[in-house]
Structure 1
Amino acid sequence: MLKKKILVAAVAVSTVILTGCGPVKVADTTPTPVPEAEFAPTSEELKAQMKGSGSKIVLSAVEYSDSAAKSFAPGVYDDFSQRLLKSGNTLVDRTLAAKLEDELRAAEVSGKFQTSGPADADIAIMTKISDLSLKHSFTKEYVWVDEDGERHKRDSYCRFTSGAKLFVRAYKIPSMDLVNTYDYEGSATMTSETGNSNCPINDATASSLVNEALEDAVKSGSGETLNDLAPEAYVLERRDNEDASKALFRVTIAKKSGAVEGAKVKFYRKTRTITPITNEERMGRMLLGEGEISGEGIDTSGSYVYVKDKELIQDIKIGDIAKLDHGKCDVDETEVLGSCIKIPGL
C-alpha cells in the first residue's frame, strides 16, 4: 500500500514538474543593473574564492564500537569522502590524515591541537559507526478474497531489516571549536519466500543488506554536514527575461564546486549586529530565498541560477552569498513521503 501511495505521489510530482514553466535561456535575457550588497566581497576576496577549493578537510578513518563493523568502515569512508569532494571541498591526503589521527583524538579530549605546520587543514571530521542491526520477521502463508470474490494466495516469507547509525563530529582546526555533531541513520529491507520460520540468511546477503543501510545513512544524513561546510559563493550578475518575471543570476558556484543542473541554491545576505553594552560586532547571514541551477553556463568559473520569485529577484544584490543546498536526496531524485525516488523521463 505504501509503495502505491509513493507511486501516486511521484506521478503527481512529475506532472507538476513537466507542466510547469522551465528555466529561461541565457539568450532570452538581458543584463540588469543591480545595487551592490553592503558587505559584498572585496576584489581580493572574490578572486581568492574563485581560485579556492572550499575547506581543506581532514577525514579520519572511520571508527567503530563493535568489531563486526570493521569490514564496513572503509566503504563508509569512501562514500563520505566522495560527497565531501563533490561539495566543493578538498580532502587532506589519506597518508597525512592517518598521521594526524592520534593528535586529533587527543585534541578532541583536550581541546587543543598541538601539531604546527604540516596539518594544512581547516576542518577535522571524525566518524564512528555507532550501531548496526539486522532483524527478521516471519509471515505465514495466507489467503484473501478481493472485491470481485477472487481468491489470492500469499506464500510464507521472511522480511529482513537492517539498520545503521553513524555519529559524526566536525571541528575547526587548530582551535578545535565544534562546528556541529550529526547523527546519521539509515535502513534497508528485503523479503525472501520461505517456509522456515527461523529465517536463515547467508553471510554475503546479510553483509550486503547492512552495507545498504550504511549507504542510506551516509546519503540521508550527510546533507546537513555538507551544508555546514559548503563553500560560500557570490552573486555577480542578474539577467532578466522580457517582463522581468524570471531571472538568471550568475554565481561563482563552479563545476568543481558541485554545480549541476537542477541543484538548489540558497541566497543569503551578510548582516552586522552590534551587541548591547559590549558593543562587540558580530557578522551573520540572513536567508533571502532559493533558486535552481540552470543547465546553461555551468563552467570552471561559475553557473547561472534560475529564480522565478518576483520579490526575491528584486531583493538579491551583487555580492550576496550563494550556497549549494545539499538535501537528503540526490539531484536526480525527488523526496516523496520521506523516500528518495527517481522520476522517469526527468
Structure 2
Amino acid sequence: MKFFPSIYLLMPIALLLSSCKTMLKMQDYPNKKIMLRENISGAQSKRTQVLIVPSKSKLEIAKEKSANRILDGKLAEIIASTGAEIIDRELQKKLLSEIKRCENQGYALGRQCFKSKVPDIIISTEITSIDLSSSFSRASSSKDKKGKTYKTPASCSYKTNFESLVNIYNMQKLQLKESVKIKGNKSISQDTNNAKCPFNQALLESSITASIQDAAKYYGSDIKTLFSPKAKVIEYRWGNNQKDNFFRLSIGKSEGARPGLEVVIMRDEAETTNSPSQYDFSSEIARGVIMKTDSQYREAWVQVKSRESALRVKAGDFAKIIYTAPACKDKFYKGLCEIF
C-alpha cells in the first residue's frame, strides 16, 4: 500500500485556510452602529519618529568588538518592526550634533536642543557589563550495564554575559519615559586539550554578538510594547455567533499591525508604569486579536470573542497592540497564528 504524506499534510492546512478566508470577509457581517465617544475624523495613526543615539560604554572590549554597533542595530530592527520610523543617518547626524552642542553648553536634553525637527522618541543606551568566563573538563570514560565504553573528550566551556541599560526619552513630554535593563548570555563548548581555555578572536566576537542577540530576543517583546502603535476604533461588525465581533482600527501594516497580534481596547490611552510589561489597563474594555490588515486603506480588523465586552466599545476608544501577550497561546486563534 502506497502513502502520499504530502497530500495528507496539505489537506488540513487547505481546510484551515479555506475557513479562515471565509471568516475574514468583512462584507459577510452587518455594520452595527455604535455610540461615538469623540470625533474620529482624521483618526489615522501616525508613525512614531525615533532617534537612536549611538551606544556608549566605558568598557574597552565593547569598543574593540563593535558591541555598541551590534546593539544599536538590533534595537533598530526591533523598533522598526512595530511600524516606528527610525530617523535616517543624514538627519541623525544633524540631530546628534545639536545634542552634543546642547550638552557642551550645559543644558539638559530637551526641545531647546534642537533647531531641526524634534523626534518623538530618543533612545540612549549604555553597555554596562560584558563578562567572560571559561572552565576546563578533563577527558573521561564510562561503561554501561552491557560493558560498552563511552568516551568523553577533554573540552572547554565558554560563557559570555552581557548587560546594557536602554533609556527611552519622550520628547513630546520632555521626560524619561522608561529605563530598561537588558541581559543576555551565550554558552558554548569546544573539544580541546588546552586547559587554559583562552578566548580567541573569532570565539570572542561570536560570543559577544550571540549574547547581544539573546538579550534582544528575550527583551524584544517588552521593548516592542513600549513602541507599539496606538489606534482608534472606527467601526463595529458582528455576526450571529457571539464570538463574531469585529472592530475596524485606524492602523495598517505600515504602522506595525499584523494578523495574530493581541490588542487591548481602552477608554483612555495607556501609559507605562515601572516596567515595560506593566501597563495601566484600568480603563480596559475588551481584548481581541488582529485577524486582517489592509495596507491600501491603513486599517486592521480585530476580533473580540466576548459579545458582552464588544457592546461596551465606542467609536473613538483607543486600541493598543500588546507584544508581551501572544495570542497564539489561545486555542481559539491557534490556526490563525499557524498561517501567519
TM-score, normalization: structure 2? 0.74
- How far is the alpha carbon of 1:286 from its aligned partner? 1.9
Q: Tell me what 2:324 maps to.
A: 327
Distance 1:172 1:271 in 2: 15
Contact 2:34 2:236 in 1 (8 A): no
- Are residues 1:59 and 2:52 paired? yes
Amino acid at match of 2:96: A
Distance 1:219 1:111 in 2: 30
The 3 A distance-change label for structure 1 pair 296 and 109 is closer
- How far is the alpha carbon of 1:144 from its aligned partner? 4.8
Q: Deviations over 1:77-115 (max 9, x none)?
A: 122123222212223332223213315656997365432
Contact 2:126 2:166 in 1 (8 A): yes
Q: Tell me what 2:154 maps to.
A: 156
- How far is the alpha carbon of 1:199 from its aligned partner? 1.9
Q: Tell me what 1:243 maps to.
A: 241
Q: Tell me what 1:256 maps to.
A: 254
- Are residues 1:80 and 2:79 paired? no
- How far is the alpha carbon of 1:308 from its aligned partner? 2.4
Q: Superposed, which structure 2 residues align to 1:236-315 within 5 Å?
A: 236-270=234-268, 286-295=283-292, 297=294, 299-315=296-312
Q: Superposed, which structure 2 residues align to 1:12-161 within 5 Å?
A: 24-26=23-25, 29-36=28-35, 38=37, 40-44=38-42, 46=43, 49-50=44-45, 52-53=46-47, 55-70=48-63, 71-92=66-87, 93-103=91-101, 105=103, 110=108, 112-144=110-142, 152-161=150-159
- How far is the alpha carbon of 1:207 from its aligned partner? 0.5
Q: Tell me what 1:177 maps to.
A: 175
Distance 2:293 2:51 in 1: 34
Aligned partner of residue 43 in structure 1, secondary structure? coil
The 3 A distance-change label for structure 1 pair 74 and 286 is same
- Are residues 1:203 and 2:226 paired? no
- Are residues 1:193 and 2:188 paired? no
The 3 A distance-change label for structure 1 pair 110 and 29 is same
Contact 1:268 1:287 in 2 (8 A): yes
Q: Tell me what 1:214 maps to.
A: 212
Aligned partner of residue 217 in structure 1, secondary structure? helix
Amino acid at match of 2:55: V
Q: Deviations over 1:231-281 (max 9, x none)?
A: 321122223243232333221221111122222222222289xxxxxxxxx
The 3 A distance-change label for structure 1 pair 146 and 100 is farther
For the aligned residues, what is the CA RMSD? 3.6
The 3 A distance-change label for structure 1 pair 115 and 297 is closer
The 3 A distance-change label for structure 1 pair 345 and 250 is closer
Structure 2 residue ranges without an equivalent (≥5): 1-15, 271-279, 330-336
Contact 2:162 2:212 in 1 (8 A): yes
Distance 2:339 2:143 in 1: 37
Q: Tell me what 1:4 maps to.
A: none
The 3 A distance-change label for structure 1 pair 107 and 127 is farther
Deviates more, 1:227-236 or 1:108-117: 108-117
Distance 2:152 2:338 in 1: 30
Q: Tell me what 1:12 maps to.
A: none
- How far is the alpha carbon of 1:187 from its aligned partner? 1.4
Q: Tell me what 2:230 maps to.
A: 232
Aligned partner of residue 251 in structure 2, secondary structure? coil
- How far is the alpha carbon of 1:153 from its aligned partner? 3.6
Amino acid at match of 2:192: T
Amino acid at match of 1:224: D
Seq. identity, %: 20
Amino acid at match of 1:83: I
Contact 1:142 1:155 in 2 (8 A): yes
- How far is the alpha carbon of 1:30 from its aligned partner? 0.5
TM-score, normalization: structure 1? 0.73
Structure 1 residue ranges without an equivalent (≥5): 1-17, 273-282, 335-342
Aligned residue pairs: how many?
301
Distance 2:237 2:24 in 1: 10
Aligned partner of residue 221 in structure 1, secondary structure? helix
Q: Deviations over 1:126-180 (max 9, x none)?
A: 1111111222223333445668886544333222221211111122226531211
